């Protein structure tokens, strides 16, 4: 995979953009990128071909408003469906809490959709014996995707049930629908499974006024699970807080998540999300440290 240089010539239509909202926002004419980093010297947005995965362009977010780096890319460069990642330039001083390295492709923390999965590899380790700090990590991390805010909510709004009347049912999207006989087979274990009338009727019959969904934001499986041929079932290992997990989608996680919310709201059922904010899938200060396959039993090594 080639490494396009950041051009010193500004493409037509590329402007400093705006510092808000954070993330990637489609305006109809292009995409405004705004990324918070108080200590980065520069942040580049890196665009990828969604089919080949090829790195097709890098553009500096050279607008700066305090800690926010921003730029507007015209529709000729970025639009809904564009795959992108971030590369941050700055000090590499782990003792001071700084680990900037432009060879690391970063997920936009405000990404609304992701493509691909995290692949644990030595290149993601910040303290390796063979120097993978020099390796580009793009082959191993998900791509962020620009999402258009054009979903037809059909006048949807949250039911706003008073707390005194609220009955919360906690459920796991996959576990609740995986073997439900009323759910079409293709929708079992998926967001769309919660839109099926018989599923909603069951919740209503129980007197449920709100479902609390166990984590369904994009998440990754821990290395000690993967080494045993297992995966993280519960989702408490997030990668991006605003991107629906693709594991529960038939085709389009964002659209299907919205359809699920719209259907539950239409039935008078509120949706509460269980979100993990106290840690992410980085696995520690050294990054995604890989674990060699183990022989024998016993407790997993500490991460």
DSSP string, 179-226: T-TTS-GGGTTSGGGGGSHHHHHHHHHTT--EEEEPP-EEE---HHHH
CATH of the domain at 202: 3.30.750.90
Q: Do both 171 and 267 map to the same domain?
A: yes
Residue 253 is part of which domain span?
163-273
* Per-residue pLDDT tens digits for 105-153: 999 999 999 999 888 777 777 655 445 567 889 999 999 999 999 999 9
Residue 135 lies in a domain: yes
Give the phi and the psi of residue 248 in degrees, each rounded to 5: -105, 15
Number of domains in the chain: 2
In which residue are the tokens 């209503």 written?
Answer: 204
Q: Which of 114, 145, 176 is the last residue of a domain?
A: 145
Residue 10 lies in a domain: no
Q: Do both 129 and 234 map to the same domain?
A: no
Quote the pTM value: 0.88
Lowest-pLDDT range, 20-24, 136-140, 261-265, 268-272?
A: 136-140
Residue 278 lies in a domain: no
Burial of 137 (0-12, 13-18, 19+ CB in 10 A): buried
Q: Do both 181 and 238 map to the same domain?
A: yes
Q: Do both 109 and 188 map to the same domain?
A: no
Tell me how crowded residue 110 is: count the other CB atoms within 10 A of its CB.
19
Q: What is the widest separation between alpha-carbon atoms in the chain?
A: 63
* Per-residue pLDDT tens digits for 163-205: 999 999 999 999 999 999 999 999 999 999 999 999 999 999 9
How big is the CA angle at 258 (ends 37 and 69), to the nearest 5 degrees? 15
> And the tokens for 250?
């038939």
């Amino acid at each position: 995979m080639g490494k396009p240089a950041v051009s010193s010539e500004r493409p037509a239509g590329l402007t400093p953009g705006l510092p808000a909202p954070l993330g990637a926002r489609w305006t109809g004419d292009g995409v405004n990128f705004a990324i918070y980093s108080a200590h980065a010297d520069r942040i580049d947005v890196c665009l990828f071909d969604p089919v080949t995965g090829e790195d097709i362009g890098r553009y500096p977010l050279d607008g700066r408003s305090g800690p926010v780096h921003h730029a507007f890319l015209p529709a000729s460069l970025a639009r809904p469906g564009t795959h992108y990642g971030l590369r941050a330039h700055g000090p590499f001083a782990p003792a001071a809490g700084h680990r900037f390295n432009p060879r690391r492709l970063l997920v936009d923390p405000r990404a609304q959709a992701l493509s691909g999965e995290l692949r644990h590899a030595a290149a993601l380790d910040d303290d390796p014996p063979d120097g993978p700090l020099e390796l580009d990590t793009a082959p191993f991390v998900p791509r962020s995707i620009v999402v258009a805010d054009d979903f037809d909510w059909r006048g949807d709004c949250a039911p706003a049930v008073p707390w005194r009347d609220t009955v919360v049912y906690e459920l796991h999207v996959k576990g609740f629908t995986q073997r439900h006989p009323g759910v079409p087979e293709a929708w079992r274990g998926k967001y769309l499974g919660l839109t099926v009338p018989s599923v909603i009727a069951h919740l209503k019959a129980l007197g449920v006024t709100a479902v609390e969904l166990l984590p369904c934001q994009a998440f990754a499986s821990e290395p000690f699970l993967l080494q045993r041929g297992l995966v993280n079932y519960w989702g408490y290992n997030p990668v991006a807080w605003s991107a629906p997990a693709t594991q529960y989608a038939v085709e389009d996680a964002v659209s299907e998540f919205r359809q699920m919310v719209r259907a539950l709201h239409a039935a008078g059922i509120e949706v509460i999300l269980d979100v993990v904010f106290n840690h992410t899938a980085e696995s520690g200060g050294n990054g995604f440290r890989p674990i060699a396959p183990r022989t024998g039993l016993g407790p997993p090594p500490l991460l």
